A and B are shown apart, each in its own frame.
Chain A
């Protein structure tokens, strides 16, 4: 069954702007992960945040986690056309991992 739900389903921004994507989930988790999928390609792991962490950075990526609200956000700063892709959140509970339906991000040059 699905676990995470991304919001919005689609997002279109101009190059240089920031992009924020949200993910909500329903059950307890050990960690939450964000993935990117370029059209026609496999998934690429971006960042993992553990349930006892509140914020994590990796380059232009910033992820927050609010376990009380069961939600996470992914912020991409200073977006580039190459950031155009689908972004998925995945929740992990022990060895069980579930994905949301994804947010389709389009960055216009």
Chain B
């Protein structure tokens, strides 16, 4: 079991470009969470998805950010027209149905230059 895989590990984008962050949950996990960690700050919840459904997107900025978790393939966090303030580490976690210890990926570090 390879665990939660996030890629890329590091992503550099120029202002105005699009960033796509991928998260492959653990096998058998149908729940995915995205978190953002700004430098020197804690994790902040962004969005909670189940297969093909967004359950809670209360932590997502209203503009430029979107997330999906299709029936097949990884979950994607998409940031359009990136700005310097989007520079952060983005973590994804997955879980099976239930509320026990979740498994986190190693994160994608986005740098906007």
Closest to A44 in B: B104
CB neighbours (8 Å) of A94 from chain B are 99
With A2-B44, A86-B42, A99-B35 known as contacts, the answer to whether A31 contacts B100 (CB < 8 A) is yes
- What secondary structure prevails in chain A residues at the interface with B? strand
Bound: A94/B55 CA distance, A: 13
Interface pair B99/A92, CB less than 8 Å apart: yes
Q: Is A98 an interface residue (CB 8 A)?
A: yes
Bound: A107/B59 CA distance, A: 33
Shortest Cβ gap from B15 to chain A (Å): 24
Shortest Cβ gap from B61 to chain A (Å): 14
Interface pair B31/A102, CB less than 8 Å apart: no
Name B48-107 residues within 8 Å CB distance of A.
48, 55-56, 58-59, 91, 93, 95, 97-107
CB neighbours (8 Å) of B31 from chain A are 95
Interface pair B95/A95, CB less than 8 Å apart: yes
Shortest Cβ gap from A100 to chain B (Å): 6
Mark B residues whose CB is within 8 Å of A: 31, 33, 35, 41-45, 48, 55-56, 58-59, 91, 93, 95, 97-107
Mark A residues whose CB is within 8 Å of B: 1-2, 6, 30-31, 33, 35, 41-45, 48, 86, 88, 90, 92-102
